[in-house]
Amino acid sequence: MRALLHGQLRAAGGALRQLALSAEGGAPARRRGAGAGGRAGQRPRAGELSLAERRALVTGASSGIGEAFARALARRGRPLLLVARRAERLARLAEELGGPGRADVIALDLTRADAGAMLEAEVARRGVELDMLVNNAGSGLTGRFAELPVDRQLAMVDLNARATVDLTRRFLPGMIERKHGGVINVVSTSAFQPVPFFSVYAASKAFVLTFTESIAGELAG
């Protein structure tokens, strides 16, 4: 199995790192502009699901980059599971994107310790097989580290880092078993250097970047 770690993309000020699984053998490759699970412009091989048959789960989908991901995937015919805290915003977006069956919603606060288990159970209850996971949910808090409330800083770590690890661990094994799928972990330019007054946020995004590239290395063998 080959892991394709696509080149860094820039969107709405964020840097996206995409880990896509392929049934092909060989060493990992770095590319720009390819879609999840295949080369840009390539048709599905025999036995592969078409793009319209692959369901993508997008976290933090109610606004910002998550909403942009949802709209872009919907335009390409992807059925979606949209996850965020704000149920009303999710419902409005889902209706715009085609409603039940095309864009379904799960309102959930991913800072909860049991959020990953709850989401996994709900996906299983709905009989959904995920072909793409977009770990986009995140938050930032600026100020002096020694002065910011510790509970809010820890909640930021929970959302930005722990939830990414949790959901990747829950849904990646099925993709590996099926030899098809993709995980996109959203970071930002803060992942690439220290950022005073944004220290925990920058550290959490650096964690996600290194985590993603490390998993790519594991899957390359």
Q: DSSP letters along 57-115, please?
A: EEESTTSHHHHHHHHHHHHTT--EEEEES-HHHHHHHHHHTTSTTTEEEEE--TTSTTH
Contacts 24+ apart (CB under 8 A), 50-55: 51/76, 51/77, 51/78, 52/77, 52/78, 52/79, 53/79, 54/78, 54/79, 54/131, 54/132, 55/79, 55/80, 55/81, 55/128, 55/129, 55/130, 55/131, 55/132
* Calpha distance 129→197 (Å, rounded): 41
Q: Which of 201, 202, 207, 219 is an active site residue?
A: 201
Single out the residue of 15, 11, 6 nearest to residue 37, CA to CA: 6
Does 88 participate in catalysis according to the annotation?
no
The closest of 83, 76, 21 to 52, measured between CA atoms, is 76
Are 139 and 190 within 8 A, CB to CB? no
How far apart (Å, rounded) are the C-alpha atoms in residues 183 and 8? 14
Q: What residues are labeled active site?
A: 201
